Amino acid sequence: MTAVRPAPSEFRRRFAAGEPLVGTFVKTPSSHAIEILGGLGFDFVVIDEEHAPFDRVAIDQCLLAARAAGTAGIVRVAEPTPAKLLAVLDDGAMGVLVPHVSSAAKAREIVSACRYRGGKRGFSNTTRAGGHGTLGLWDHVDAQDRAVTVIAMIEDPEALDELDAILAVDGLDGVFIGRGDLTVALGTAGIEAPEILSVVDRITTAAKAAGKPVAIMVGSGEEAARFRARGASAFIVSSDQGFLRQAASRALADVSRVAGPAAA
Protein backbone atom coordinates (compact mmCIF):
# COMPACT_ATOMS: atom_id res chain seq x y z
CA MET A 1 0.00 0.00 0.00
CA THR A 2 1.31 3.45 -0.92
CA ALA A 3 1.80 5.75 2.07
CA VAL A 4 -0.46 8.77 2.18
CA ARG A 5 1.51 11.96 1.61
CA PRO A 6 0.91 14.66 4.25
CA ALA A 7 -1.14 17.68 3.17
CA PRO A 8 0.77 20.63 1.64
CA SER A 9 -0.20 22.70 4.69
CA GLU A 10 2.03 20.38 6.73
CA PHE A 11 5.15 21.45 4.83
CA ARG A 12 6.32 23.94 7.46
CA ARG A 13 5.98 21.41 10.27
CA ARG A 14 7.78 18.74 8.27
CA PHE A 15 10.57 21.14 7.27
CA ALA A 16 11.07 22.28 10.86
CA ALA A 17 11.17 18.66 12.04
CA GLY A 18 14.02 17.88 9.64
CA GLU A 19 12.03 15.33 7.67
CA PRO A 20 13.71 14.41 4.36
CA LEU A 21 11.81 16.38 1.70
CA VAL A 22 12.27 16.27 -2.06
CA GLY A 23 11.29 19.06 -4.43
CA THR A 24 12.17 20.57 -7.77
CA PHE A 25 12.21 23.94 -9.48
CA VAL A 26 9.47 24.81 -11.96
CA LYS A 27 10.65 27.12 -14.73
CA THR A 28 7.77 26.84 -17.18
CA PRO A 29 4.72 29.07 -16.53
CA SER A 30 2.17 26.29 -16.95
CA SER A 31 0.17 24.13 -14.58
CA HIS A 32 0.90 20.89 -16.41
CA ALA A 33 4.40 20.20 -15.12
CA ILE A 34 3.26 20.80 -11.53
CA GLU A 35 0.34 18.39 -11.95
CA ILE A 36 2.76 15.72 -13.17
CA LEU A 37 5.36 16.37 -10.47
CA GLY A 38 2.78 16.46 -7.71
CA GLY A 39 1.21 13.28 -9.00
CA LEU A 40 4.58 11.55 -8.88
CA GLY A 41 4.89 12.36 -5.19
CA PHE A 42 7.27 15.33 -4.95
CA ASP A 43 6.87 16.92 -1.53
CA PHE A 44 7.15 20.45 -2.93
CA VAL A 45 7.75 22.48 -6.06
CA VAL A 46 9.54 25.83 -6.21
CA ILE A 47 7.92 28.17 -8.70
CA ASP A 48 10.89 30.20 -9.89
CA GLU A 49 9.90 33.81 -10.43
CA GLU A 50 13.53 34.92 -10.04
CA HIS A 51 14.96 33.10 -13.06
CA ALA A 52 11.92 32.24 -15.19
CA PRO A 53 9.15 34.21 -17.00
CA PHE A 54 6.43 34.15 -14.35
CA ASP A 55 3.92 36.95 -13.81
CA ARG A 56 1.31 36.99 -11.05
CA VAL A 57 -1.36 35.30 -13.16
CA ALA A 58 0.97 32.43 -14.05
CA ILE A 59 2.04 32.06 -10.41
CA ASP A 60 -1.61 32.00 -9.34
CA GLN A 61 -2.39 29.22 -11.83
CA CYS A 62 0.65 27.21 -10.82
CA LEU A 63 -0.21 27.48 -7.13
CA LEU A 64 -3.69 26.22 -7.93
CA ALA A 65 -2.10 23.28 -9.76
CA ALA A 66 0.11 22.54 -6.76
CA ARG A 67 -2.92 22.50 -4.51
CA ALA A 68 -4.78 20.19 -6.89
CA ALA A 69 -1.79 17.84 -7.14
CA GLY A 70 -1.27 17.70 -3.37
CA THR A 71 2.23 19.17 -3.36
CA ALA A 72 3.42 22.24 -1.43
CA GLY A 73 3.79 25.26 -3.73
CA ILE A 74 6.77 27.41 -2.72
CA VAL A 75 7.62 30.58 -4.68
CA ARG A 76 11.13 31.85 -5.19
CA VAL A 77 10.26 35.53 -5.45
CA ALA A 78 12.10 37.82 -7.83
CA GLU A 79 12.48 40.45 -5.12
CA PRO A 80 11.56 40.49 -1.41
CA THR A 81 9.23 43.48 -1.41
CA PRO A 82 6.21 43.36 0.91
CA ALA A 83 3.91 43.61 -2.12
CA LYS A 84 5.56 40.68 -3.91
CA LEU A 85 5.57 38.48 -0.81
CA LEU A 86 1.95 39.36 -0.01
CA ALA A 87 0.84 38.55 -3.55
CA VAL A 88 2.19 35.01 -3.62
CA LEU A 89 1.00 34.23 -0.09
CA ASP A 90 -2.51 35.52 -0.85
CA ASP A 91 -2.48 33.33 -3.97
CA GLY A 92 -1.93 30.29 -1.76
CA ALA A 93 1.83 29.70 -1.59
CA MET A 94 2.82 27.46 1.28
CA GLY A 95 6.03 29.41 1.57
CA VAL A 96 8.60 31.66 0.00
CA LEU A 97 12.21 31.11 -0.94
CA VAL A 98 13.91 34.51 -0.80
CA PRO A 99 17.15 35.17 -2.70
CA HIS A 100 20.18 37.06 -1.40
CA VAL A 101 19.32 37.37 2.28
CA SER A 102 22.65 38.85 3.32
CA SER A 103 21.82 40.44 6.68
CA ALA A 104 19.72 39.92 9.78
CA ALA A 105 17.95 43.22 9.07
CA LYS A 106 16.84 41.94 5.67
CA ALA A 107 15.70 38.65 7.19
CA ARG A 108 13.59 40.52 9.75
CA GLU A 109 11.96 42.62 7.03
CA ILE A 110 11.06 39.51 5.05
CA VAL A 111 9.63 37.70 8.05
CA SER A 112 7.60 40.77 9.02
CA ALA A 113 6.07 40.93 5.54
CA CYS A 114 5.04 37.26 5.75
CA ARG A 115 3.53 37.18 9.26
CA TYR A 116 0.32 38.63 10.62
CA ARG A 117 0.93 38.36 14.37
CA GLY A 118 4.09 40.24 15.24
CA GLY A 119 4.52 41.25 11.61
CA LYS A 120 3.12 43.59 9.00
CA ARG A 121 1.46 41.34 6.44
CA GLY A 122 -1.49 43.07 4.80
CA PHE A 123 -4.76 41.39 5.69
CA SER A 124 -7.29 39.84 3.35
CA ASN A 125 -9.22 36.61 3.80
CA THR A 126 -11.06 36.86 0.46
CA THR A 127 -8.06 35.33 -1.33
CA ARG A 128 -7.31 31.68 -2.10
CA ALA A 129 -5.26 31.57 1.10
CA GLY A 130 -8.37 32.60 3.04
CA GLY A 131 -10.67 30.20 1.25
CA HIS A 132 -12.13 33.14 -0.68
CA GLY A 133 -13.80 34.42 2.45
CA THR A 134 -14.78 31.14 4.06
CA LEU A 135 -12.26 31.57 6.90
CA GLY A 136 -13.01 34.13 9.56
CA LEU A 137 -10.54 36.90 10.27
CA TRP A 138 -8.63 35.30 13.14
CA ASP A 139 -9.00 31.76 11.78
CA HIS A 140 -7.28 32.95 8.61
CA VAL A 141 -4.56 34.79 10.55
CA ASP A 142 -3.80 31.74 12.69
CA ALA A 143 -3.88 29.30 9.75
CA GLN A 144 -1.47 31.39 7.71
CA ASP A 145 0.93 32.11 10.54
CA ARG A 146 0.95 28.39 11.28
CA ALA A 147 1.50 27.21 7.68
CA VAL A 148 3.59 29.81 5.83
CA THR A 149 7.25 28.84 5.52
CA VAL A 150 9.94 31.50 5.14
CA ILE A 151 13.28 30.28 3.79
CA ALA A 152 16.28 32.57 3.28
CA MET A 153 18.79 31.87 0.54
CA ILE A 154 22.36 32.17 1.79
CA GLU A 155 24.31 32.88 -1.38
CA ASP A 156 26.43 35.97 -0.72
CA PRO A 157 29.83 36.14 1.03
CA GLU A 158 28.59 38.98 3.27
CA ALA A 159 25.79 36.73 4.55
CA LEU A 160 28.43 34.45 6.04
CA ASP A 161 29.57 37.28 8.29
CA GLU A 162 26.02 37.60 9.70
CA LEU A 163 25.09 33.94 9.57
CA ASP A 164 24.36 33.47 13.27
CA ALA A 165 22.34 36.70 13.42
CA ILE A 166 20.31 35.72 10.34
CA LEU A 167 19.54 32.29 11.74
CA ALA A 168 18.51 33.85 15.06
CA VAL A 169 15.71 35.87 13.45
CA ASP A 170 12.42 34.77 14.99
CA GLY A 171 9.99 33.52 12.37
CA LEU A 172 12.65 32.58 9.83
CA ASP A 173 12.07 28.87 9.29
CA GLY A 174 15.32 27.82 7.65
CA VAL A 175 17.91 28.48 4.98
CA PHE A 176 18.76 27.34 1.48
CA ILE A 177 22.44 27.13 0.53
CA GLY A 178 22.95 28.77 -2.87
CA ARG A 179 26.10 26.99 -4.00
CA GLY A 180 25.97 28.42 -7.52
CA ASP A 181 25.93 32.06 -6.46
CA LEU A 182 28.51 31.43 -3.76
CA THR A 183 30.78 29.75 -6.31
CA VAL A 184 30.57 32.73 -8.66
CA ALA A 185 30.94 35.29 -5.86
CA LEU A 186 33.95 33.54 -4.34
CA GLY A 187 35.52 32.73 -7.70
CA THR A 188 36.07 29.05 -6.94
CA ALA A 189 36.59 26.30 -9.50
CA GLY A 190 33.07 24.90 -9.11
CA ILE A 191 30.30 24.00 -6.69
CA GLU A 192 32.28 20.97 -5.48
CA ALA A 193 35.39 23.03 -4.71
CA PRO A 194 36.80 22.57 -1.18
CA GLU A 195 36.07 26.24 -0.42
CA ILE A 196 32.36 25.74 -1.19
CA LEU A 197 32.14 22.51 0.80
CA SER A 198 33.71 24.38 3.70
CA VAL A 199 31.04 27.07 3.40
CA VAL A 200 28.33 24.38 3.29
CA ASP A 201 29.70 22.90 6.51
CA ARG A 202 29.85 26.35 8.09
CA ILE A 203 26.20 27.04 7.24
CA THR A 204 24.89 23.62 8.28
CA THR A 205 26.79 23.80 11.57
CA ALA A 206 25.36 27.24 12.34
CA ALA A 207 21.86 26.11 11.34
CA LYS A 208 22.07 23.06 13.59
CA ALA A 209 23.14 25.26 16.50
CA ALA A 210 20.16 27.53 15.82
CA GLY A 211 17.78 24.57 15.50
CA LYS A 212 16.80 25.42 11.93
CA PRO A 213 16.70 23.16 8.86
CA VAL A 214 18.75 23.46 5.69
CA ALA A 215 17.71 23.03 2.06
CA ILE A 216 20.13 22.54 -0.82
CA MET A 217 20.06 21.70 -4.52
CA VAL A 218 21.50 18.33 -5.49
CA GLY A 219 22.18 16.48 -8.71
CA SER A 220 21.66 12.90 -7.54
CA GLY A 221 20.66 10.61 -4.71
CA GLU A 222 24.32 10.08 -3.90
CA GLU A 223 24.86 13.82 -3.54
CA ALA A 224 21.71 14.11 -1.43
CA ALA A 225 23.08 11.42 0.90
CA ARG A 226 26.36 13.31 1.28
CA PHE A 227 24.61 16.55 2.15
CA ARG A 228 22.15 14.73 4.40
CA ALA A 229 25.15 13.54 6.38
CA ARG A 230 26.33 17.17 6.56
CA GLY A 231 22.99 18.28 8.00
CA ALA A 232 20.68 19.18 5.10
CA SER A 233 17.17 17.72 5.07
CA ALA A 234 15.31 19.32 2.13
CA PHE A 235 16.59 18.64 -1.37
CA ILE A 236 15.79 20.34 -4.66
CA VAL A 237 16.68 18.23 -7.65
CA SER A 238 16.73 19.60 -11.19
CA SER A 239 13.69 21.38 -12.68
CA ASP A 240 10.82 20.68 -15.04
CA GLN A 241 13.04 21.89 -17.90
CA GLY A 242 15.93 19.75 -16.69
CA PHE A 243 13.76 16.63 -16.52
CA LEU A 244 12.42 17.34 -20.03
CA ARG A 245 15.91 17.85 -21.44
CA GLN A 246 17.30 14.69 -19.81
CA ALA A 247 14.40 12.46 -20.87
CA ALA A 248 14.27 13.91 -24.39
CA SER A 249 18.02 13.46 -24.80
CA ARG A 250 17.82 9.81 -23.79
CA ALA A 251 14.84 9.14 -26.06
CA LEU A 252 16.50 10.82 -29.03
CA ALA A 253 19.69 8.84 -28.52
CA ASP A 254 17.83 5.53 -28.09
CA VAL A 255 15.64 5.91 -31.16
CA SER A 256 18.41 7.34 -33.33
CA ARG A 257 20.61 4.37 -32.48
CA VAL A 258 17.92 1.88 -33.53
CA ALA A 259 16.65 3.80 -36.55
CA GLY A 260 20.10 4.19 -38.08
CA PRO A 261 21.05 6.74 -40.73
CA ALA A 262 18.36 8.31 -42.90
CA ALA A 263 17.75 6.73 -46.31
CA ALA A 264 19.50 8.39 -49.25
Q: Which residues touch 160 (CB under 8 Å, ≥6 apart)?
A: 154, 199, 202, 203
What is the fold of 8-257? TIM Barrel (3.20.20)
List of the chain residues with pLDDT < 70:
1-3, 261-264
Structural Rg of the chain based on CA atoms? 19
Between CA 31 and CA 260 the distance in angstroms is: 37
Residue 78: count other Cβ atoms within 10 Å of its Cβ.
Answer: 14
Between CA 152 and CA 102 the distance in angstroms is: 9
Known catalytic residue: 100? no
Helix (H, G, I), strand (E, B) or coil at 222: helix
DSSP code at position 263:
P
Find the largest Cα–Cα distance for the chain. 74
Which residues is 177 bridged to in the sheet?
Answer: 154, 216
Q: What DSSP line would sit under 156-168, residue for residue? A: SHHHHHTHHHHHT
- For residue 1, the model assigns a pLDDT of 38
Domain ranges across the chain: 8-257
Q: Which residues touch 161 (CB under 8 Å, ≥6 apart)?
A: none
Which residues is 236 bridged to in the sheet?
Answer: 23, 217
Kindly name the residue from 32, 51, 100, 132 that is annotated as catalytic.
51
Residue 10: count other Cβ atoms within 10 Å of its Cβ.
Answer: 16
> pTM for the complete prediction?
0.95
Residue 140 and residue 125 in contact, taking contact as beta carbons nearer than 8 Å? yes
Helix (H, G, I), strand (E, B) or coil at 124: coil
C-alpha distances out from residue 185 to 131, 154, 156, 171, 180, Å = 43, 12, 7, 28, 9
